[in-house]
Amino acid sequence: ILLRPPVPLRPLLAGFGLLAAIAVGITVWTVYADRDARLSADTEQSAMLARALEEHVSRTFDGINLLLAQTAGEFTRIGGVKALSPGDVHDYLRSRLPPLPQVQGYFVYAPDSSLYALSASREPPRVNGRQLEFVVAHASNAGDRLFVGRPITGLITGKPLIPVTRRVSSSKGTYGGVVGAALDPDYFSAFYRGLGLQPGQTLGLLRRDGHL
């Protein structure tokens, strides 16, 4: 009987160890390659979404800004917000400012910070706006800029709204009140839902100070 010489165990185990290391290495490389591919695809999708959202936000606010700037200038030209009665200002808001899909309505605050007129009602409720963020911002800042306020609840509709406002100045440049638009948050939500996000993906719109 011929017996084969025994196979050395250590080299054999070393061979299996090398094969296992190669297999693990290939598996790890595959995992990292797949992860990098997913990250690259997600990054590209995020960049595309960011561009689409930036364009949508610009279109939304640019139209409102133009209307409010024209309206604030008109109030300055005629001598201030109180040059017209609240009912006449209501009629002006209804007739001169077009109904934009992103806007619930328009409003005007007088220099004494009281709600002066609404497009939604000829007789606005009595509101002292001294503590409202946008009233404080415009009363303390003579700058001519659009202000996007924190979401509040509408007085007439009871729905959330985002106040978008501009300062009205007197002919001498002093504070003359606020003209604003009630931006509908659902306008943004509907657009976001239409983007076809995957489960678990969420979009949010924040101010520069981080307020949602």
Q: Where are the alpha helices (DSSP H) in 79-163?
A: 86-96, 133-140
Q: Which range is least confidently modeled, 22-36, 94-108, 168-182?
A: 22-36
The predicted structure's pLDDT at residue 17: 59
Q: Which range is least confidently modeled, 126-140, 158-172, 184-198?
A: 184-198
Residue 130 pLDDT > 80: yes
The predicted structure's pLDDT at residue 2: 47
Nearest to 182 by CA among 208, 161, 206: 161
Structural contact between residues 90 and 121, judged by C-beta atoms closer than 8 angstroms: yes
Nearest to 117 by CA among 97, 131, 141: 97
Residue 196 pLDDT > 80: no
State how far the alpha carbon of 114 is from the alpha carbons of 49, 111, 125, 130, in Å.
41, 7, 10, 8
Alpha carbon distance 32, 45 (integer Å) = 20
Q: Give 43 or 6, the one with higher predicted confidence.
A: 43
Residue 163 pLDDT > 90: yes
Taking each helix axis from N to C terminus, what angle separates 185-193 and 9-78, rounded to the nearest 10 degrees? 150
Q: Is 21 helix (H, G, I), strand (E, B) or coil?
A: helix
The pTM assigned to this predicted structure is 0.75
- Average pLDDT of the segment spanning 113-127: 90
Alpha carbon distance 124, 149 (integer Å) = 20
Structural contact between residues 147 and 211, judged by C-beta atoms closer than 8 angstroms: no
State how far the alpha carbon of 32 is from the alpha carbons of 27, 35, 40, 64, in Å.
9, 5, 12, 47
Per the prediction, the chain carries an average pLDDT of: 83
Q: Is 190 helix (H, G, I), strand (E, B) or coil?
A: helix
Residue 209 pLDDT > 80: yes
- Average pLDDT of the segment spanning 48-70: 87
Q: Give 5 or 49, the one with higher predicted confidence.
A: 49
CA end-to-end distance (rounded Å), the chain:
87
- The one-letter code for the residue type at 96 is R
Instruction: Work out whether strand 152-153 and strand 103-109 pair parallel, antiparallel, or are unpaired.
Output: unpaired
Residue 12 pLDDT > 70: no
70-96 tens-digit pLDDT: 999 999 998 889 999 999 999 999 888
Residue 9 pLDDT > 70: no
State how far the alpha carbon of 81 is from the alpha carbons of 45, 90, 107, 119, 172, in Å.
47, 11, 11, 14, 14
Residue 4 pLDDT > 70: no
